Each structure stands twice: as C-alpha cells, then as structure tokens.
Chain A
Amino acid sequence: MFRIKTVFLTLVLCIVILSSCGSYYTKNIKFNDYYKKADFEKAEQLLVKDKKGPKRNTKLIYFLNRGVIAQALGKYTESNDFFEQAYILGEDYRKNIGSETLALLSNPMVTDYKGEDFELLMLHYFKSLNFVFLNNYDNALVEARRINNKLNELSDKYLKNNRYKNDAFAHYLMGILFESSGEYNNAFISYRNAYNCYNDEYVKLFGFSAPPSLQKDLLRTAYKTGFNDQVNFYEKEFNLKYEKITDTLNDVVFLWNNGLSPVKEEWSINFVLVQGADGIMTFVNEEYGLSFPFPMDNKEGTGGLGDLKILRVAFPKYVERVPLFNAGSVKINNDVYNMELVQNINAIAFKSLEDRMLREFSTALMRLALKKAAELALRSQSQDAGAALGILNAITEKADTRNWQTLPHSIYLTRFRLPTGQHTLNFETKSSYSGASNTRSISIDVKPNRVNFFTFSTFETRMN
C-alpha cells in the first residue's frame, strides 16, 4: 500500500514538473530560433505546416507571426492579409463564456488569446508600412485613422493616469503617414500629440523624451499648414530657427527594429489562507503585501477550505531579451544621422502587465478558489475522486504565457533627404555593453515626390 502511494506521488510530481516548464515561448522554440537567426523561409515553413495554427486559441499570434514573416520576406500584400485577419480578431474579440469558465477551472491558456493593447496597436505599424512599400498611400492613411481610433479607445479605457494609455510612437507614425500624403494639418496635429505624449508621459513611464527629429517635423508641418503662431511658439520652445526647404531632394524615413520583444514566463507565489469572521477567507502573501478576501462557506474539520493552508498560484511575468545593440547611425556620403529611440516595446510590455497585476492576482485567486471549491464538493461525495481532482488542479495550474514574440524590443528612427535614385548607405549598430559594432552596407532606391520608407531589423540579443 505504502509503495503504491509513493509511486503514485512520484508520478504526479513528474507530471507537475514536466507540465510546468511549458511556457508559450519554449513550446515554439523552433520557430523562435529560426526567427532569431533571421531564417524567415524556415520560420515560414513551420507556420505553413501548422495546419491548426489559424484555428487554435492562439490564432491571433499565428496571424501576427505570419504577417511579420511575410513582410520580412517582402511579400507585402500577403503580409497585410494576415495582419488584417489579426486586426479583425482583435476588433471582434468577445469573451467566450464556456472557455472563460473552463479557464477558471484549469488555467487561462484555454481561452482565446486576445492580445495586449500595445500589440493590437503595433499591428498597424507593420500594416501601414506594408501599404507604404506597396506605394498605396490611401490605405496607409486608413491605417493611420485606425491607429487614431485605437488610441482614442485606449485613452477612454483607462481613466487612471500614470499608466500606459497613450502611445507617442503611434502618434508619431500617424504624423509621418499623413505628411507623406500631403495632409500637413493632420500631420501637425499628430506630431504635436506625439511630442506632448513623449514629454508628458513617456518620460515618466519609460524614461525617454521626444526624439530631436520630431522638432523639425513639428516646425515644418506647422509652417506648411500656415500656423505661423505655432512656428514661432515651437521655435522658441526648441530654440531652433525653422529653415525653409529650398532643395528638390526627397524625404527618407529610416526605421530600425532593434532586438526582440520580451517573452512571458510563469512564476508562482504561495498564499496562506487566513480564516476570518463571517466565513470570509483571505489569501495572504506577506512577502508581497497582498491580501484578497473571498466569501467561502467554511466548516472547520469537515474538509472545508480551512484544511488547506498553503496554496500555489501561477502568474505571468515578462522576461526581457536585452538587445546587443543600443545605438545606431546611418552614414551616407559624408553625413552621419544618428538613430533616435522612438518606441520601447519592452518597457511598454512590462508596464502593461504591471498596470493590471492586481487584476491578474484576483483572477488567479478566483481560479484557485473555484478549483478548491470543486475539489471539496467532490471530496464530500468521494474522498478519492476529490483527491484526484486536487492533483489535477495542481497540474493544470498555469499562467498565461502567451504573447506576440516577433515584435522588436525597440524602434529607432532617423530622417534625411536624398536626391532621386540609387544610394548606398552604411548602417552602423553599436553596443555600449560589449563595445561590439557592426556595419552593413544597404542599397536603397529613392523615389521622387514621396516620403521614402526603409526598415532594417536586427535580432542579436545580449548573452548573459
């Protein structure tokens, strides 16, 4: 009898250990490896082979990944088909009662992945670029307006300040898109919103302010819209005199997608169950100073919740993938243009999770309470069945570790002007950690009468 019990317990322990190391990232390690090595063909093959990908509850991530890979392979129309599907999924997301209930009895990985706010916003970055690459500026403007709708939604959704509820880069991108279509008034408004968001919110939340290039963008579009008072205002604010453009050169926007966004992993903390008066149970963790009360029917000694003193709860956390490079510049002829940080997706991801950690805690504890209640309900019928469910509950306790993992860690930008035609530029990336640097020669074709967009991605991360 004793031996059987030991074997059984060991077996359960093995299952628990095995199931606990399966975060979304490690489950897709092969795809992630290909992507990191910029082997987009192989990464795409993996996704194409995954026939269930578009049907699984992670289909949003599937479409986002396919969009990113197709863009990297230069298939812009196809890429946008995937991003459009992801966009529709994000827009039409509705909680499914069945899977939400199931999530409370097992873990949140059984629900449809609905995407983080910033992920659903960043989708339009890729999408609008695809349209720009296809020379379809009308549709790029549609994306700009969708960004605007998303930003309005975001600022209405969260009333509390001091949290991620406005995206400066999204405003900036909108400005660039409007300006490329000659809509200077809208461009000016977007640039001004971006400037204010960087300096009022990003400084406090993410530690960086408006990129210097935005100053010139503001002055130029204020002038072109005929807002002379605004030109004067910003000239004073920046201590910079606006210089009218007299040359016939073309605008070039060079974007650098640096590194990889953070991945989600699981961590768990133990809560002690404290019994209060009136059948109120409180989950307490002193280390983190957390306490959550739950109304529970509790009868001491009859297999009630009071018997279970310590409970493990799993939560998601972000793990940064620190990029190797943290500075870059574009050298063309004898001119050097420094890359300016415009978006830090890594920091936004961490902040977003932190902002809703309290909600994560309560959902996880609700899940735990329900699981225990189910176990106890069964135990009162049959001890063995109840015990079995208890074990199953322990095994299924898992955090939601899903996220969009092919996003860059951060985005840099620089703007310059070039004559029409082919050019070769040197793009240098540097690491202040290791002193490493890397220079790539990139040839670009600058077209007349438009803003020319070029992107470059680096995936190198720092080895710890």
Chain B
Amino acid sequence: MKKINFIALMIVVSVMFSCNRRTVQRIDPNKQVDLSGRWNDSDSKLVSQEMISDVLSRPWKSEYVQKTSKKPVVIVGDIKNRTSELIEPETFIKDLEREFINSGQVRLVQSVEFREQMRSERADQQEFASPETIKKWKKELGADFMLNGTINSIVDQYGKDKVIFYQVNLELSDLETNEKVWLGEKKIKKLINN
C-alpha cells in the first residue's frame, strides 16, 4: 500500500517537471503574433502600410505632379521615439521607405548617414576607378519633401490588466518652404490581460 502511494507521489513530481523541452519552428513573417503586448513587427508593418497609403492619396501629391509634371522626391527623416519602450526606429523607417518605393508614386533618396557613405565611396572612385566608370559629383537627387514623425505611448495599468496606447504621428513637409503638406495619425490600443 505504502509503495503504491510513494510511486504515485513520484509520478506527480515527474509530471510537475516534465513538458519542458524547447521547440523551435519557423513561421511566416507576415503572421501576426502578439505575446507581450509591446510594440512589435506587426505594429510597425500595420502603421507604415496604412499611413503611407494615406499620404499617397492626399492632394499634395497631385498638386505637385500638376505643377512640375514630375514624381515628388521624398526623404524619410527622423522618427522620434517618445514611448517608454526601446523601439528600433530603423525597422519602422525601413517599413515606411519600402511602402513608399513599392507604391511607385514617389522617388526616395538616402538618409543622411548613408549619403555620407556614398560620398566617401564616390570620392574613392575619383582616384581608383577606371575613368569610364567614375561617378560624377553634384548629380545627387535633392529631395522635395521630408517625412518626420514621433511614436508616443501611454500605459495604463491596474492590477493584472494593462492598456497600452500607441500614437504614431507623421508629417510631410515641403523642404523649400517648410510648409506642412500632410499630417497623419495612427492609433493602436492594446488591452493585455494577465
């Protein structure tokens, strides 16, 4: 009788510590997976898609095309993170740039740090590249508009429940006149129950 009882206890203990093997599986990067409720790739994608499709459907673009009969040249500037989380602005900026380019409606130029890199490469070419392949100076495409923005968040927590509210504000300005030609806003609200 005692023996059976002891074995039963051991089984209980074993079960307590079992099912602990790690598994790894590859999943579709487009699949939306929410775990902690923090800002993640799905948010970045969702916001960039919606906001870029919004900015491209507004009158500033058609007005510009009408005036100059050229595609506007855009640069994505700083996206400031004002939340309490460390959000990699890089991935968000890349998402925005990709949406811009894929639309085929605007032209996009490199941001500051990459321009520096390209200039140093061009400088290098002047000395070492064969004459027919040397790229010329002062041929850079100047941007007409610049996109800037901020990501804000408000966290409200009570007990085990938490609401995270993200607000992404983007604005497009005319680089010559500083005029704001488009303001966009996207809100994401998440309720997290623990």
**A277 touches B (CB below 8 Å):** no
**Which residues of chain A have C-beta atoms less than 8 A from B194's C-beta?**
159
**Which residues of chain B have C-beta atoms less than 8 A from A227's C-beta?**
80, 82
A376 engages B2 (CB within 8 Å):
yes
Task: With both chains docked as a complex, state the minimum distance between the C-beta of A221 and any C-beta of chain B, in angstroms.
Answer: 12
Stretch with Cβ within 8 A of B (4 or more), from A25-33, A183-191, A348-356: A183-191
**A19 touches B (CB below 8 Å):** no
Q: How far is the CA of A100 from the CA of B10 in the complex (A)?
A: 11
Proximity bits, A129-156, B CB within 8 Å = 1, else 0: 0000000000000000100100010001
27 A-B residue pairings within 8 Å (CB atoms): A95-B20, A97-B14, A100-B13, A100-B17, A101-B10, A101-B13, A101-B14, A101-B17, A145-B86, A148-B86, A152-B36, A174-B86, A185-B89, A189-B81, A189-B83, A189-B84, A189-B85, A227-B82, A297-B5, A370-B10, A373-B2, A373-B6, A377-B3, A377-B5, A377-B6, A380-B1, A380-B2
**B136 touches A (CB below 8 Å):** no
B81 engages A185 (CB within 8 Å):
yes
The range of chain A's interface size is: 20 to 34
Query: Which residues of A does B touch, CB under 8 Å?
Result: 92, 94-95, 97, 100-101, 104, 145, 148, 152, 156, 159, 174, 185-186, 189-190, 192-193, 225-227, 297, 366, 369-370, 373-374, 376-377, 379-381
Q: How far is the CA of A148 from the CA of B88 in the complex (A)?
A: 12
Name the CB-closest residue of A to B157: A161
Question: Which interface residue of B5, B13, B86 has the most chain A CB atoms within 10 A?
Answer: B86
Task: With both chains docked as a complex, state the minimum distance between the C-beta of B18 and any C-beta of chain A, in angstroms.
Answer: 6
Task: With both chains docked as a complex, state the minimum distance between the C-beta of B17 and any C-beta of chain A, in angstroms.
Answer: 4
B86 engages A226 (CB within 8 Å):
no
Q: Known pairs A189-B85, A370-B13, A374-B6; list 14 more (Cβ under 8 Å).
A: A100-B13, A100-B17, A152-B38, A159-B194, A185-B89, A186-B81, A189-B86, A190-B86, A192-B84, A226-B80, A370-B10, A373-B2, A376-B6, A377-B5
B2 engages A297 (CB within 8 Å):
yes
Task: With both chains docked as a complex, state the minimum distance between the C-beta of A430 and any C-beta of chain B, in angstroms.
Answer: 37
Name the CB-closest residue of A to B8: A297
Q: Which of B14, B21, B160 contacts A159 (CB 8 A)?
A: B160
Task: With both chains docked as a complex, state the minimum distance between the C-beta of B171 and any C-beta of chain A, in angstroms.
Answer: 14
The range of chain B's interface size is: 20 to 34
**Which residues of chain A have C-beta atoms less than 8 A from B138's C-beta?**
none
Task: With both chains docked as a complex, state the minimum distance between the C-beta of B84 and any C-beta of chain A, in angstroms.
Answer: 6
Q: How far is the CA of A101 from the CA of B10 in the complex (A)?
A: 8
A94 touching B36 in the complex, CB below 8 Å, given contacts A189-B86, A193-B84, A377-B5: no
A297 touching B1 in the complex, CB below 8 Å, given contacts A94-B20, A226-B80: yes
Q: Which of B9, B21, B82, B84 contacts A373 (CB 8 A)?
A: B9
Proximity bits, B70-101, A CB within 8 Å = 1, else 0: 00000000001111111001000000000000
Q: How far is the CA of A186 from the CA of B81 in the complex (A)?
A: 8
Q: How far is the CA of A95 from the CA of B18 in the complex (A)?
A: 8
Q: How far is the CA of A127 from the CA of B83 in the complex (A)?
A: 27
Task: With both chains docked as a complex, state the minimum distance between the C-beta of B164 and any C-beta of chain A, in angstroms.
Answer: 13
Q: How far is the CA of A156 from the CA of B36 in the complex (A)?
A: 8
**Which residues of chain B have C-beta atoms less than 8 A from A186's C-beta?**
81, 86
Q: How far is the CA of A381 from the CA of B3 in the complex (A)?
A: 9
**Which residues of chain B have C-beta atoms less than 8 A from A101's C-beta?**
10, 13-14, 17
